[in-house]
Structure 1
């Protein structure tokens, strides 16, 4: 990521010597779609402050690069602010960079990331996120369900998994850098290919963005699909998850005030994720149509949810939503998972 043509020319030469190709991003907007999955990220000192303002997510294998003759400041201060692991100033660091290019680093992961956020409190985002994860697991996808809302009460309760042993967020809140993906899957509550990272009911701890970035990285590497239940107030950790998401669904009850509140959430989410779609949940007491809501929010309509009285009773019994593969919620989730992953939902029908 650089707009310095002389620096780029040097890096292209060194990369060629190491047998690697560079994918150029002249600015943060161009870098964002490829930022999380790239094997190695080089940020030119000319773009470092731009990257900081863009709040690119923390991730491992980031190197701050520059030309000594063109930069007279302290690059380590910039590197620390960016979360870069190394500083490589040319020409002194040419040999070190050539070795990095020759390492044949693997991609940080192939799994897709799906975010869900409520347009207002009680919209049903947590239930939808859980149902998506359950549906993906029923279709044979290795799935990680991440509870990104520290004030949500815990997705393990929605799953009926509160008695299952395994790590919760407080034990991982200090994680940074790279988490061993296999170890993470084994340490969290899991059953049959579905893994859940939830909050507990203990003392509330802060969640650093580095911990969320490390979890997203590990989830992509270990799983086919990562589903994140996002809070409505986007803290730094939530922003990291938003930026990692391939798609985000905004759940909005078919009510006027809920639609107005969702407009604010949508405006904030669009800053960090361009693929944002709407799920409208009934009933519609004021006869406000789903397409009318979508038009007012300038969002594509991904689906609607009819009232499902049996769902509340099932949740109170500790039954995970969509676990039986029947009903409006299950049918919607089957379609959404299929659209995102290209997986046939025949196994979940």
Structure 2
């Protein structure tokens, strides 16, 4: 992990090491003294605790020394002597969530680092596990004298575990000091941010509704619907009722839907059934969004849908006979749309056709691959 800018100095004994400089006299000299436990860290699942804390991480020790150091590391994270001995031969599957987390901490501590960096140690833990981890860190600090640097968004955890805190925002430290003071500053800052966000969202809502009305005056339903959708999303976040404002926009929806249905009628009279279907679908979608009932307008199209279903199946059969499965499937899909409008099941219709005896939609997908 490289820094973006600035310097990172680490003291090893009486010497300050510049971590921005590579090489054995600089970064290489400090690395063995630094442990890192990232958020997604896990144990080797098919190895026992003893192996996870020694062989698996490259520690080659005599058996007795391996057990002694492992027990010491486990005790450092809060296991008592008996429990530490009991879990040595257990795999991670046999441990509780809290126990697994403490063993991963022990895996870092067994190398005896001077500094341990934890990246979001609580993650998605439940409260009981969080408490176990917090106690383990406090115990490890006391037992080993190790410095823990914890990166976390969990303010409660920081309050319970840390002595000092720093708040970083957009790559810059905005507050540093004792935990209580820093957390209080964060709360004040977050409150100001929330108030600003609230003001911004209210402004956005007003702007979306204004633009929707302007588009309604110009009879551009597509844009009206776009801004109405944006206004609805923002209103939900603000927990605001905008039903009165939306009611004012209904005439624009009604006019647009009426024009779509007229176009659908024109295409129906010209025998262009697919184009008719597209306009009807758009009218239905807009009506649903605006809460407008157009069910009484649809029966006059049913005869045309019957004709469309018949024609689509004929085209599907013709292309199937020619071996053009892709084209045949397109017409079957179209027939399915028409059948749905007629309240019919396309699968039942297809099963009754001689040319479709062994050809299911799954078969079509397989043949198209």
The TM-score bracket by the shorter chain reads under 0.3
Name whichever structure is richer in strand by fraction.
Answer: 1
Using CA pairs under 8 Å that are at least 6 residues apart, name the structure with larger relative contact order, 1 or 2: 1
Per the normalisation by structure 1, the TM-score is 0.25
Per the normalisation by structure 2, the TM-score is 0.24
Larger radius of gyration: 2
